[in-house]
Structure 1
Amino acid sequence: MTLAVPPTVPDPSVRSAIERLRQEFPELGPAPIVLVVRTCREELRGSPDGALPELVERLARQRLRVSLD
């Protein structure tokens, strides 16, 4: 897995996913959620822009669930 670096331009697909996943996984705290979401966004960079918000959030949610098992 590639670790993400902070983006230079705000990305709405990242921001919205972080907000929803922080509510869904409060036990994890914000730092791991931000890292997972940004990493997922980086891995999906070749995907169509219109699909990015959903793809980023789905992939991040799956990885966060696995981390809790």
Structure 2
Amino acid sequence: MVPVPRTGQHEESRAPMTLPAQHTADPVVEQAVARLVSEFGTRLRPQVVGSVVRSSRRDLSGVPVTALPEMVERLARARLQSVG
């Protein structure tokens, strides 16, 4: 059996390890989740609220950073109202 080289061309071509997007800290998402859980917590589980907020954040990836907090919360709230 031939040993796998640990350096050189093969090592450089590997993609860096990164965390999936849902595990990275995003203050916009965290703040929106906190507010919306308090608003929808009696009807929906916090995990559902978090999932909707993260989905809304992904869908608004092209929005200017300054408008992002308000837009994420508004979109997530509208989606949550239609569900719960």
User: TM-score, with normalisation over the residues of structure 2?
Assistant: 0.71
Q: 1:24 aligns with which of 15, 39, 45?
A: 39
Give the corresponding residue for 2:67: 51
In the TM superposition, what is the alpha-carbon distance from 1:7 to its structure 2 partner? Answer: 4.0
Which structure: greater helix fraction? 1
Name which one, 1 or 2, has greater alpha-carbon Rg.
2
Instruction: Compare relative contact order (CA 8 Å, sep 6+) and give the higher one, 1 or 2.
Output: 1
| Structure 2 spans left out of the alignment, 5+ residues | 1-20
Aligned length: 63
User: TM-score, with normalisation over the residues of structure 1?
Assistant: 0.86
5+ residue gaps, structure 1, are none
